[in-house]
Structure 1
Amino acid sequence: MEKLQSHTIHPVFPLLLFLLQFTSLHLLSSAYDLPDKYFINCGSNENVNDISRNFTGDENSGSLSSGSFFFRKPGTAVKDSNQSGNTSTLYYTARIFSEQSSYAFETEDVTTTYLVRLHFFAFSSPTDLSTAVFDVSASGFLLLHNFTAKNSGNLPLIKEFFLTTRTAKFRIYFTPKESSFAFVNAIEVFPAPPVNFSFDGANRVGRDYKIPSSSVLQTIYRINVGGAKIEPAGDTVWRNWDTDESYLRTKDTATTSQFYSDRPLYQSEDSEYAAPDLVYQTAKEMNTNRSRLSNITWSFDVNKTAGHLVRAHFCDIISISLNVLWFNMYINSNFSQEIGSYFYVTQLAAPFTIDYVVGSYDSGVMNISIGPSNTTTEKNAFLNGLEILEIMDGLAFNPKENDQSKISIPIVVGSALGGFALLSILVGGFFLFRRRRQPKPAEHSSWGHLPAHGGGSSHSRVTELTINGSPVPNLILGLKISFAEIQLATKNFNPKVLLGRGGFGNVYKGTLLNGTKVAVKRSSPGSGQGLPEFQTEIMVLSKIRHRHLVSLIGYCDERSEMILVYEFMEKGTLRDHIYSPDLPRLTWKQRLEICIGAASGLHYLHKGSSRGIIHRDVKSTNILLDENHVAKVADFGLSKSSPLEETHVSTNVKGTLGYLDPEYFRSQQLTEKSDVYSFGVVLLEVLCARPVIDNLLPRDQMNLAEWAMKCKHKGLLEEIVDPFIKGQINPNSLRKFSETAEKCLQEDGSLRPAMSDVIWDLEYALQLQQTAVPREPHEDSTAMDSSAFILPDVRRVPSIESTFERDDTAVVSGDFSSSTASEVFSQLNIDNAR
């Protein structure tokens, strides 16, 4: 490990910090700053500084300079009669409620994930706090039910939750049960760091478990594996990390590893918030000195009726190189995954996390194990940290309250502004009604001139940068859509019109005032993309139009929102049609036509403008299909302009695992051929109908590109073709298609074809498919002898390249119905070709 280099964390650019409000997690997650609100010292008029947090006495409600909070039906303040020095002064007071009461916090009216901590300590007082029984709810979610704060260790109880909400006032309700009462010592409410807990990318353990549509995550365990207990002072956002010793089933199966010489080599600024440095500088690894190697197992008591989200933290501090150690991780003995750092990070001592959604089990015990893999000679395994969060599905009724009884200066001002906002909405509604009677084409609508909705700044972040950092031309403002209009189009983001979730956020189906159906992509908290991707998408799509590229209708960046509005693609993603059992399976001819369309869109990006564009995230989820199964390439948030003179762009590696060009990954030099490689992976995905990375398969089959090429070289490619289309494919069409994919996947980017050549080859494969159709299984063997068909010797026509250029250039001038590359075949002499 002596060879590991130190890692320097670059400071965040100050202007970016000024532009981004920390309360909006769906902006750049790297702009997250430590919060200064809300930290409440309950039952007191004194402020308490506790581990660089200033807890404001709740009797000083409305006193925060950065916002205000207040409580309703304040109950009674009580003090600890002993005031033991063993606890923080934060636990010297509490507030008791004999009837339902609430704290309300002024927040941004945007979708935000909050971290909520509730502190309870049953100190000595005339009222025995340990006898309290009560419920706690927040913004429509039940957090604690029939809760009592008894703690045998005479230590404070801290309950921690992650919940996503959109409200101008975040409320926490305390509801006593029957003749009992409720109490609380301290409250923390602040936007969560970009830890990005997400169900979408998590591995599923227990196939029958259905994730609740509305849920809250409650932290149950947070473990520093192999290390000491970490107090809140040692964590960026004041989390507690326990040691793992008490959870180990057999202690002599593991040894402790430590690496304190350097900070972990974080791959992104976001990952620094996942866990403290100390978690990644220690680990448990297998005890190789035992006569017989055994898996390391940790056991945890969990709610047997609930699902859980498990996050495993890894940082390879024990290997001598990145790609020598592979090992297995097991959950409840019925799920295993082979893990290698190579798939997640680019260097040793670089942290990464893997998430699992674990269904409920009757035993109420969750066992997590690591052990050696049979695919490597290195027999070891390691783990740095664990988090287990319960997935809570409990909705709570929030009573309506008359806030006029609560007076504070910030709230009075807010009420006045609210009246003005209401008037603005009414005026805006009048104009919207007028517009409804006079619809305009979507491409030419003047949405940017509508009155702004709400109190957000009228300054547009989109005017600040381009794809290369230069100012954006003002004409883009003509695409701007007001937030009010988007709310109308999506019925206020009704879950019933939710189409899906992606890395950027939720996608909704909407209908504009002129009747145009659109897809509305709204950034969400903890998404993997941020402001630069948002700006890049607008810059790219505002300048290009092509039949095989998704069109941008407009955007909205009011009130810290980042919303993109596209033409609606009726059939969804190509990935959906490859894998979903609920959708009709695509025929081989349809798949070929979709691949040709997508290749045409990419070819236009590369060559159809004065300065080409590299997509950088070509994959099956970014190829959409309209009602006629016409393919259109989408999602340009990671795109880069090609250099004017150089052959490549030097850039940080971005993309999607499995589709990523290995040459780009190694050299960090991006070229158009990187898109070609990714498209080659898509071709194999279309052919084989299996994920590009499948961790449940043996190691040699895990990566689709590697596995398919091995099968092709052994003459076994037909064995891994999607069974649904295996009987449809003409052997010559399959041969040409697989050759095309193989050329795209060349290790040396200079040997890969241009997209124009890929189109030509795919069109050729389509013609071969249509020239002779294989017999169906039930047909007589004498009816057709497709195997007798000989692949024609067709030479490349010199003018083909220019044909594509003319086709794409015509699109720039406004021809939105460009012809496909099938015109090429008018120059070929193939019998029975169209």
Structure 2
Amino acid sequence: MQMEKLLLFLLLFFSSILLSPADYTRPDHFFINCGSKANSSRSDGRTFIGDLIYPGGSLSFTKQRSSVITNSQTSDVLYQTARIFKQQSSYKFDIDTAGIYLVRLHFFNSTDVSTAVFYVSTDRVSQLKNFTIPRSSTNDSNSPLIDEFLLNIPQGKFSIYFTPQGSSFAFINALEVFLAPENFIPDKAPTPTNKKYTGILSNALQTIYRINVGGETITPETDTLWRTWKPDDEFLYNPNTGKSASTSGLPKYNGEVTNYIAPAPVYQTARRMNTDGGSNFSNISNIMTWSFSVSKNSSHFVRVHFCDIVGTSVGSIIFILYLNGIDPQKVDSYEISGDLLTPFYLDFVVDSDESGVMNIYLVPSEDSPEVLMTYLNGVEIMEIIGELNVVIEPDKSKKTVFLVVGPVGGLLVCVLAVGLFIFLKKRKRRSVETSVWSPFNVHGGGSSNSKGTDRTINVFRFPNLNLGLRMPFTEIQSATNNFDEKLQIGKGGFGNVYIGKFKNGSKAAVKRGQPRSSQGLSEFHTEIMILSKIRHRHLVSLIGYCDERSEMILVYELMKNGTLRDHLYKTNLPCLPWKQRLQICIDAARGLHYLHKECAGGIIHRDIKSTNILLDENLIAKVADFGLSKSVPMDQTDVSTGIKGTFGYLDPEYFNTHQLTEKSDVYSFGVVLLEVLCARPAIISGDPQLPMEQVNLAEWGLLCHRKGLLETIVDPSIKGQINPNSLRIFAETVKKCLLEDGANRPSMDKVLWDLEYALHLQQTAVYREPHEDSTIDATFGLRLVNVQRLPSLSLQIEKDDMPILRDSTTDEAFPSASEFFHN
């Protein structure tokens, strides 16, 4: 009876809380006109109060270290004054309500401040922004620079610090610090590995993009939180793939999505797929794709907004959302929102890679009951900054998330919550009494920097791992001098890479997984499983791994000359000659051929790109990074799987069918070959001056090849070195690798043969006549070369290759080019 009364009380208590959320009212503070005794009233309803006359004592700043300058280059009162700091100084705010705050910094670039160099920090984050204005910069548009951040601020004093660099100074024209609506940003969001990124609110978010897709610019005057939303035109990869759509109907906001999440104009416009040219999705160029330039190797909070203003009936449109490695997300507005013109959004945490490009693309789903169609209303991208610890864990939240629809729904949720609470309480008591294992908590158990003990608990273990490769954390910690930043040599999607100096005098590359990495436990497991069972001269060797204390650490042989891309563009390294480039391509092709044919059933790499081809001290190339790799069963030729890989290298056929084959690696390798030839990235985005056909290297290269203009895009630094016949064979190889139909692409052994032949043509006086067909085969090789002996019918395997997963020799139908040309 007592328990029943308690449950009834709890139900009434929780239901009253859940069903009566506090209304949000836009705050009237803090809006600061820095360096001024006057107020600036804005057309959007805000009033920026001069810092010299701010009332109430809730604001203070470092007066003795500051001065004021005036600016006559603008008629806007808010930017006619600025506060100047010659030493580290601050503004301090008295925060009376804890929560998520929007913090905006306003800078107006006048000639008086063009030499300022400084950084901005807060109590919560060591550095929000490193601020520099180019000396030659002028402010012709009279538009201020406004940087927006979102921070979780507790009640009490909150400071924003301005720290000049060297003999320079800091400045600020205006400041905004105001409370956002409750639950404006979640603390958890899905990651590409379908885990939960936990700890978003422990960091700062800097708004990088806020896009009104398919619509016009939304200014602070019409936004509910004084935000600016820009049109999406400059980010749309191919403008012909989408059309603008709009409606005069008002969005049907609900309890979860309010007009503070996004104003009505965002949901009243959209970009819908253009179906005028049919529905051919075999090429990525025919799919609505948006490309955004972002910071390299950084984590980003991404919110995509949807509101079905395109469909003619409820549930008529279903499509798939792809976002930089995120597993395909089905978007069904009826399933999520229940009606037309009802907004909803999806949140993710996404890592960028070395390319510094984030892509969003939408593919129609065959599940659509009526029409193949896609649409998008808005996009927000915020970089996660700060150095506070976060946790990636499976989607097992310790807190109950309530979605309440009406009083009955709230009551049912409360019943379930209380029942679940009692059940978990009993279950937890039993587990404590019977289990000797600590709860599963990735990156959560203890400090990684503490000294190791014999009682260290390994939080996760995988079956079938090579235990002989397991290394103590203390040994790795010592080898990297406790992961000293001075020993850091790289950073990727998985984490930072350090040089490790071990006690026996050897050096190795130590890759330490980060909580915010785009690759998680499954990728860590895959890398160990694959590399511990294979060995090849042109595959990076795994020396060891560590999984103590929730760590994910991989130790590889040290590749002193970095990535292939490091030597092609945006580099101060010496230019690689053409013959060296060809040899590097041959090395990588050998490694890939071994993966495809010499391992049981074969292994598909799935992420071939120039940053995953590493060079040792002798510039010998080795394929690396097997976290996304897939093994193919002996009786299969393909694997059905979610889309993984890197935009620009991604096989269009795999993208559309989800059927992964070794020919997907061949396509990606063809893009790498073009990179080697042209010395430019696979994708160039964010350059409005660049013609559309040049954005995607694969498409541009094929277009130039068809027009007979391939020579015009060759890297100018090597153009004079290349034998025309070598170039022709190389170009034909690229063309075959990039064929639309994967079945028509060559296998890696044939690609290897062609590349060796191209190198032979470069090194000898053997030329083909212009009228001869470009197709390469074994009989053609026999016609050209004076063979001294009959070659073996198997590909030459180097002594270091050591195929482990399959003992039988390869069953190739024709000899290798190496045997023809060098025996």
Give the TM-score taking structure 1 as reference length: 0.51
Asked if 1:759 is matched to 2:748, the reply is: no
The match for 2:603 is 613
Measured after TM superposition, the shift of residue 386 of structure 1 is 3.6
Asked if 1:740 is matched to 2:730, the reply is: no
Give distance in 2, aligned partners of 1:662 and 1:173.
52
Measured after TM superposition, the shift of residue 536 of structure 1 is 0.3
Which residue, 198, 204, 208 being the options, matches 1:217? 204
Measured after TM superposition, the shift of residue 639 of structure 1 is 0.7
Q: Which letter maps to 1:243?
A: T
The match for 2:660 is 670
Q: % of aligned pairs identical?
A: 46
- Residue aligned with 2:711, SS: helix
Change (3 A) 1:222 1:688: closer
The match for 2:269 is 285
Q: Which letter maps to 2:267?
A: A
The match for 1:193 is 188
- Residue aligned with 1:803, SS: coil
The match for 1:802 is 794
Change (3 A) 1:279 1:590: farther
Asked if 1:243 is matched to 2:224, the reply is: yes
- Residue aligned with 1:457, SS: coil
Q: Which letter maps to 1:533?
A: E
- Deviation track 1:163-198 (CA, whole Å, cap 9, x = no partner) reads 599xxxx99997799xxxxxx99999x99534789x
Asked if 1:591 is matched to 2:581, the reply is: yes
Q: Which letter maps to 2:188?
A: P
Give distance in 2, aligned partners of 1:675 and 1:281.
43
Asked if 1:513 is matched to 2:497, the reply is: no
Change (3 A) 1:664 1:388: closer
The match for 2:618 is 628
> Given that residues 597 and 632 in structure 1 are in contact (C-alpha distance below 8 angstroms), is that contact kept between their aligned partners in structure 2?
yes
Alignment of 1:270-419 (within 5 A): 283=267, 285=269, 313=304, 315=306, 317=308, 383-386=377-380
Change (3 A) 1:340 1:703: farther
Which residue, 85, 88, 94 being the options, matches 1:149? 94
Give distance in 1, aligned partners of 2:271 and 2:589.
52
Change (3 A) 1:157 1:276: closer
The match for 2:670 is 680
Which residue, 703, 706, 728 being the options, matches 1:710? 703
Measured after TM superposition, the shift of residue 748 of structure 1 is 1.7
Give distance in 2, aligned partners of 1:393 and 1:801.
57
> Given that residues 351 and 493 in structure 2 are in contact (C-alpha distance below 8 angstroms), is that contact kept between their aligned partners in structure 1?
no
The match for 1:642 is 632
Asked if 1:537 is matched to 2:532, the reply is: no
The match for 1:727 is 720
Change (3 A) 1:590 1:218: same
Asked if 1:563 is matched to 2:553, the reply is: yes
Give distance in 2, aligned partners of 1:280 and 1:807.
67
Q: Which letter maps to 2:716?
A: P
The match for 1:692 is 682
Q: Which runs of 5+ in 2 are unaligned?
A: 1-12, 26-54, 63-87, 104-121, 128-151, 160-177, 193-201, 215-221, 232-243, 273-298, 313-320, 333-344, 353-373, 389-445, 808-813
Give distance in 2, aligned partners of 1:50 and 1:582.
65
Give distance in 1, aligned partners of 2:758 and 2:600.
31
> Given that residues 270 and 309 in structure 2 are in contact (C-alpha distance below 8 angstroms), is that contact kept between their aligned partners in structure 1?
no
Change (3 A) 1:531 1:279: farther
- Deviation track 1:190-244 (CA, whole Å, cap 9, x = no partner) reads 99534789xxxxxxxxxxxxxxxxx9735579979699xxxxxxxxxxxxx9736
> Given that residues 247 and 309 in structure 2 are in contact (C-alpha distance below 8 angstroms), is that contact kept between their aligned partners in structure 1?
no
- Deviation track 1:227-277 (CA, whole Å, cap 9, x = no partner) reads 9xxxxxxxxxxxxx9736775799xx99668898999xxxxxxxx99x999
Give distance in 1, aligned partners of 2:761 and 2:250.
60
Give distance in 2, aligned partners of 1:679 and 1:173.
54
Asked if 1:552 is matched to 2:542, the reply is: yes
The match for 1:492 is 482
Change (3 A) 1:50 1:626: farther
Give distance in 2, aligned partners of 1:611 and 1:156.
54
The match for 1:577 is 567
- Residue aligned with 1:553, SS: strand
Q: Which letter maps to 1:744?
A: C
Q: Which letter maps to 1:505?
A: G
Change (3 A) 1:787 1:588: farther
- Residue aligned with 2:667, SS: helix
- Residue aligned with 1:543, SS: coil
User: What is the root-mean-square deviation in Å for CA atoms of aligned residues?
Assistant: 6.0
- Residue aligned with 1:678, SS: helix
Q: Which letter maps to 2:676?
A: V
Give distance in 2, aligned partners of 1:583 and 1:799.
40
> Given that residues 489 and 510 in structure 1 are in contact (C-alpha distance below 8 angstroms), is that contact kept between their aligned partners in structure 2?
yes
Measured after TM superposition, the shift of residue 789 of structure 1 is 13
Give distance in 2, aligned partners of 1:249 and 1:737.
43
The match for 2:169 is none
Measured after TM superposition, the shift of residue 356 of structure 1 is 13
- Deviation track 1:288-307 (CA, whole Å, cap 9, x = no partner) reads 9xxxxxxxxxxxxxxxxxxx
Measured after TM superposition, the shift of residue 634 of structure 1 is 0.4
Q: Which letter maps to 1:193?
A: K
The match for 1:59 is none
> Given that residues 219 and 388 in structure 1 are in contact (C-alpha distance below 8 angstroms), is that contact kept between their aligned partners in structure 2?
yes
- Deviation track 1:777-805 (CA, whole Å, cap 9, x = no partner) reads xxxxxxxx999999995249996661246
Give distance in 1, aligned partners of 2:562 and 2:701.
26
Give distance in 1, aligned partners of 2:699 and 2:486.
41
Q: Which letter maps to 2:204?
A: L
When structure 1 is superposed on structure 2, of 501-510 and 789-798 the one drifting more is 789-798
Change (3 A) 1:481 1:708: same
- Deviation track 1:714-751 (CA, whole Å, cap 9, x = no partner) reads 11000011111111100000011111111111222222
Change (3 A) 1:355 1:699: farther
> Given that residues 270 and 375 in structure 2 are in contact (C-alpha distance below 8 angstroms), is that contact kept between their aligned partners in structure 1?
yes
Measured after TM superposition, the shift of residue 619 of structure 1 is 0.7
- Deviation track 1:348-398 (CA, whole Å, cap 9, x = no partner) reads 7796989999xxxxxxxxxxxxxxxxxxxxxx997524466797999xxxx
The match for 1:472 is 464
> Given that residues 728 and 773 in structure 1 are in contact (C-alpha distance below 8 angstroms), is that contact kept between their aligned partners in structure 2?
no
Give the TM-score taking structure 2 as reference length: 0.52
Measured after TM superposition, the shift of residue 557 of structure 1 is 1.1
> Given that residues 285 and 383 in structure 1 are in contact (C-alpha distance below 8 angstroms), is that contact kept between their aligned partners in structure 2?
yes
Q: Which letter maps to 1:548?
A: H
Give distance in 2, aligned partners of 1:150 and 1:478.
55
Measured after TM superposition, the shift of residue 131 of structure 1 is 3.6
Give distance in 2, aligned partners of 1:732 and 1:764.
10
- Residue aligned with 2:795, SS: helix
Give distance in 1, aligned partners of 2:57 and 2:589.
67
> Given that residues 651 and 669 in structure 1 are in contact (C-alpha distance below 8 angstroms), is that contact kept between their aligned partners in structure 2?
yes
Q: Which runs of 5+ in 1 are unaligned?
A: 1-46, 54-84, 89-127, 136-142, 178-183, 198-214, 228-240, 264-271, 289-307, 322-338, 358-379, 395-420, 429-450, 464-470, 775-784, 816-821
Change (3 A) 1:772 1:805: closer
- Number of residues paired by the alignment? 520
- Deviation track 1:604-634 (CA, whole Å, cap 9, x = no partner) reads 1111123311111111110000011000000
> Given that residues 315 and 352 in structure 1 are in contact (C-alpha distance below 8 angstroms), is that contact kept between their aligned partners in structure 2?
no
Change (3 A) 1:145 1:709: same
Give distance in 1, aligned partners of 2:550 and 2:572.
37
Q: Which letter maps to 1:614?
A: I
Q: Which letter maps to 2:587?
A: G
Give distance in 1, aligned partners of 2:730 and 2:211.
50
The match for 1:457 is 457
Change (3 A) 1:801 1:353: farther
- Deviation track 1:761-783 (CA, whole Å, cap 9, x = no partner) reads 11111010011499xxxxxxxxx
